Amino acid sequence: MVAKLNLGLTSLLQSSYLGGSGADRIHAMAVTSDAVYVAGYASSTNFPGTSAGAQPNNSGGQDGFVSMLSTDLAGPRLEVLKTGIGSGTVTSAPAGIDCGSDCSETYGGGTAVTLTATVANKSVFASWSGACTNTSGNCTVIMNAAKSVTATFNSSSTGICKLCLPSRGGWRAILK
């Protein structure tokens, strides 16, 4: 448990659980203006880690860790980016992201967030990238660290050259 108390140490202002189901311990903490750093050891096989970490999974016994939390002790942040020549929205379950307008959200550590892409008129969904690499369907991200996902939307409008063939004096297009 990481907790933020008032100056008199008499009232709990914020708190967050960091750990898994085993014997995990925080032994050091440092606070800066924009982050809280905690370090210790973990023996839980389900201690939240990041796939980009030096050792993303428990190797047996006790493993050291260093974690960075926001100063409000909120969980990791998920950011959704949209790209491509088409358009659409991305929503999340649990709620929080409705990307049209709200493209990022903080979730509790370990939360499974499912992103759904909905295409706009004359657009098609092309793929996910970043923390989610499946090219179709929904994208599920486990929030054990800050993550970013890109949704690519392409145009499905007629007039896009699907097959262009050379002909006398230029190119001949076969349009969709």
3-class secondary structure per residue, the chain: CEEEECCCCCCEEEEECCCCCCCCEEEEEEECCCCEEEEEEECCCCCCCCCCCCCCCCCCCCEEEEEEECCCCCCCEEEEEEECCCCEEEEEECCCCEECCECEEECCCCEEEEEEEEECCCEEEEEEEECCCCCCCCEEEEECCCEEEEEEEEECCCCCEEEEEEECCEEEEEEC
C-alpha 33/C-alpha 136 separation (Å) is 40
- pLDDT, one tens digit per residue, over 67-79 is 877 777 777 789 9
Distance between CA atoms of 25 and 21, rounded to whole angstroms? Answer: 12
Q: Which of 40, 69, 98 is the last residue of a domain?
A: 69
Q: Which residue has the higher pLDDT, 150 or 111?
A: 150
107 and 62, same structural domain?
no
Q: Tell me what pLDDT residue 175 has.
A: 47
Evaluate if residue 164 carries a pLDDT over 80: no
Q: Quick one: 84 and 133 in the same domain?
A: yes
Contacts of 65 (CB under 8 A, 6+ apart): 39, 40, 41, 42, 47, 49
What is the enclosing helix (H) or strand (E) of 98? strand 98-99
Domain membership flag for residue 175: no
Average pLDDT over residues 82-94: 94
**Structure tokens given for 160:** 């896009």
**60 and 85 co-located in one domain:** no
Same domain, 83 and 133: yes
Q: Residue 53 pLDDT > 60, yes or no?
A: yes
pLDDT confidence of residue 96: 92
Average pLDDT of the chain, as a whole number: 81
| Residue 170 falls inside a structural domain | no
pLDDT exceeds cutoff 70 at 176: no
Task: Please check whether residues 83 and 150 belong to one and the same domain.
Answer: yes
Same domain flag for 82 and 147: yes
> Does one domain contain both 61 and 127?
no
Which range marks the domain in which residue 16 is found? 2-69
Q: With beta carbons less than 8 A apart as the criterion, state whether 97 and 81 touch.
A: no
The pLDDT value recorded for residue 12 is: 85
Residue 86 and residue 54 share a domain: no
Residue 124 lies in a domain: yes
Q: Considering only CA atoms, give the Rg of the chain.
A: 22
**Residue 151 clears pLDDT 90, i.e. is over it:** yes
What is the domain count for the chain? 2
| Whether the predicted pLDDT of 174 surpasses 70 | no
Specify the pLDDT at position 158: 47
For 101-124, how does the pLDDT look when each residue is reduced to its tens digit (9 = 90+)? Answer: 899 888 877 789 999 999 998 899
On whether both 60 and 125 belong to a single domain, the answer is no
DSSP-derived pairing of the beta strands 88-93 and 98-99: antiparallel
Q: What is the mean pLDDT of residues 88-101?
A: 94
Q: Does 15 share its domain with 55?
A: yes
- Same domain, residue pair 17 and 63: yes
Domain boundary among 48, 69, 90: 69
Distance CA 97, CA 14 (A): 23
Do residues 58 and 6 share a domain? yes
